[in-house]
């Protein structure tokens, strides 16, 4: 990634009264990238976006765009496109009038406006809908108008606040693809807010995971998933088994961890501390019975629950001492175990991640 900074957040804090929502946030958005702010509700991701758009002012700290401070600039002078969660299409204007609005506000001549609107309409494939009011469009079509309206004045940066939240699953996946495609074609920088981690992983160049008003980790999707920086990210992004334990020995690169069930497992992760730890192992990395053979860590466990999901089977197993882990296996597996069976669970030391417990 050519890391030329478009936006910089410099020690931004935001509080409402005594309640701090953002605590000392540093963030750089690179030109041309698709950055997703991912987090649970109340994690501060939307507040961050609103401060970038100009609807909220930071309590302290600076926001710079192309090196110039913008934190006191009103929204209409920032030139940042925003796609709102509920689209915010003006109900009394037609599709064409909605699209023309930002151009008219910039004093563009009528002929130029008409040309740009025509182009934007064909870009989002809404030809023939120019004269419809937003209420006469489907959710997906409204979404496309909102996208086109935020892009039509060629902003350097477009913000999207959970734009797909109101759509059903199939349409959402389709629109994810379309947004990606628009981003690729136009080369515009996108900051995208979502609480849906699979959306974040599929769409982004980088993902910033928000936790309690700060960024827990910011990295490309693969790193977020494979190399979570802490237990929160490991648990929030994707499914994960978080097993508590303590350090038994840490000679060199292989650390021995005693799980609370009593079993000792090895993790390919150097460790220097001695306090309680959390071990994270993805369910899909755990092998069952014959798949567990030859793996360095093997535990005998009892099946407590089975859930059939069509393509796969989700199995909860008791590792002993009340420590529950989830294992995913293919649903067509002929030798699938029953509830109450004793099975072998195994994984590689490389597939475990260690974090200090708080």
Site for other proteins, rule CB under 8 A: 53-55, 74-76, 78-82, 84, 86, 88-92, 101-102, 105-106, 149-150, 153
Residue placing its CB nearer to other proteins in the complex, 18 or 92: 92
In whole angstroms, the minimum distance from the beta carbon of 145 to other proteins comes to: 12
**DSSP 8-state class, residue 261:** T
Contact assessment for residue 298 and residue 345, using Cβ atoms and an 8 Å cutoff:
yes
Contact assessment for residue 2 and residue 28, using Cβ atoms and an 8 Å cutoff:
no
In whole angstroms, the minimum distance from the beta carbon of 130 to other proteins comes to: 18
In whole angstroms, the minimum distance from the beta carbon of 152 to other proteins comes to: 9
Label residue 320 exposed, middle or buried (CB < 10 Å: 0-12, 13-18, 19+). middle
In whole angstroms, the minimum distance from the beta carbon of 165 to other proteins comes to: 14
Contact assessment for residue 61 and residue 48, using Cβ atoms and an 8 Å cutoff:
no
**DSSP 8-state class, residue 202:** H
Q: How far apart are CA 225 and CA 167, in angstroms?
A: 26
In whole angstroms, the minimum distance from the beta carbon of 53 to other proteins comes to: 6
First-to-final CA distance of the chain: 34
Residue placing its CB nearer to other proteins in the complex, 48 or 241: 48
Q: How do 287-288 and 254-259 pair as beta strands? A: unpaired
Residue placing its CB nearer to other proteins in the complex, 82 or 280: 82
Residue placing its CB nearer to other proteins in the complex, 11 or 106: 106
Q: Is the dihedral of CA 285, 290, 292, 294 positive or negative?
A: negative
Q: How far apart are CA 86 and CA 352, in angstroms?
A: 41
Report which secondary-structure segment, H or E, holds 144.
Answer: helix 139-151
Residue placing its CB nearer to other proteins in the complex, 153 or 271: 153
Residue placing its CB nearer to other proteins in the complex, 49 or 354: 49
Q: How far apart are CA 35 and CA 221, in angstroms?
A: 10
Report which secondary-structure segment, H or E, holds 353.
Answer: strand 352-356
In whole angstroms, the minimum distance from the beta carbon of 108 to other proteins comes to: 11
Residue placing its CB nearer to other proteins in the complex, 42 or 75: 75
Q: Is 325 left (phi over 0), alpha (psi -120 to 50) or beta?
A: beta
In whole angstroms, the minimum distance from the beta carbon of 283 to other proteins comes to: 39
């Amino acid at each position: 990634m050519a890391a030329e900074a478009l936006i910089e957040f410099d020690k931004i804090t935001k509080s409402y009264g005594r309640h701090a929502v953002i605590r000392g946030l540093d963030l750089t958005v690179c030109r041309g990238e698709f950055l997703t702010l991912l987090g649970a509700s109340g994690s501060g991701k939307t507040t961050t976006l609103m401060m970038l758009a100009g609807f909220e002012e930071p309590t302290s700290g600076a926001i710079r765009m192309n090196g110039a401070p913008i934190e006191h600039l009103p929204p209409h002078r920032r030139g940042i496109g925003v796609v709102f969660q509920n689209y915010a299409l003006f109900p009394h204007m037609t599709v064409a009038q909605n699209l023309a609005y930002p151009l008219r506000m910039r004093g563009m001549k009528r002929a130029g406006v008409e040309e740009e609107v025509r182009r934007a309409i064909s870009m989002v494939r809404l030809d023939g809908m120019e004269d419809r009011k937003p209420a006469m469009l489907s959710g997906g079509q409204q979404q496309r108008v909102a996208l086109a309206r935020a892009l039509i004045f060629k902003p350097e940066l477009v913000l999207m606040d959970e734009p797909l939240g109101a759509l059903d699953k199939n349409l959402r996946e389709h629109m994810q693809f379309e947004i990606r495609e628009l981003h690729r074609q136009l080369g515009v920088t996108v900051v995208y807010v979502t609480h849906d981690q699979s959306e974040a992983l599929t769409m982004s160049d980088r993902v910033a995971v928000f936790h309690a008003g700060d960024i827990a980790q910011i990295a490309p999707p693969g790193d977020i998933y494979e190399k979570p920086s802490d237990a929160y990210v490991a648990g929030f992004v994707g499914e994960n088994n978080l097993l508590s334990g303590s350090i038994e020995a840490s000679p060199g690169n292989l650390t021995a961890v005693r799980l609370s069930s009593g079993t000792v497992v090895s993790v390919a992760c150097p460790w220097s501390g001695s306090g309680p730890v959390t071990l994270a192992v993805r369910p899909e990395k755990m092998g069952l019975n014959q798949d567990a053979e030859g793996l360095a860590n093997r535990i005998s466990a009892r099946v407590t629950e089975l859930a059939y999901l069509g393509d796969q089977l989700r199995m909860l197993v008791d590792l002993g001492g009340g420590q529950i882990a989830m294992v995913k296996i293919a649903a067509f597996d002929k030798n699938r175990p029953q509830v109450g069976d004793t099975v072998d669970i195994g994984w590689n030391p490389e597939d475990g991640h260690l974090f200090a417990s708080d």
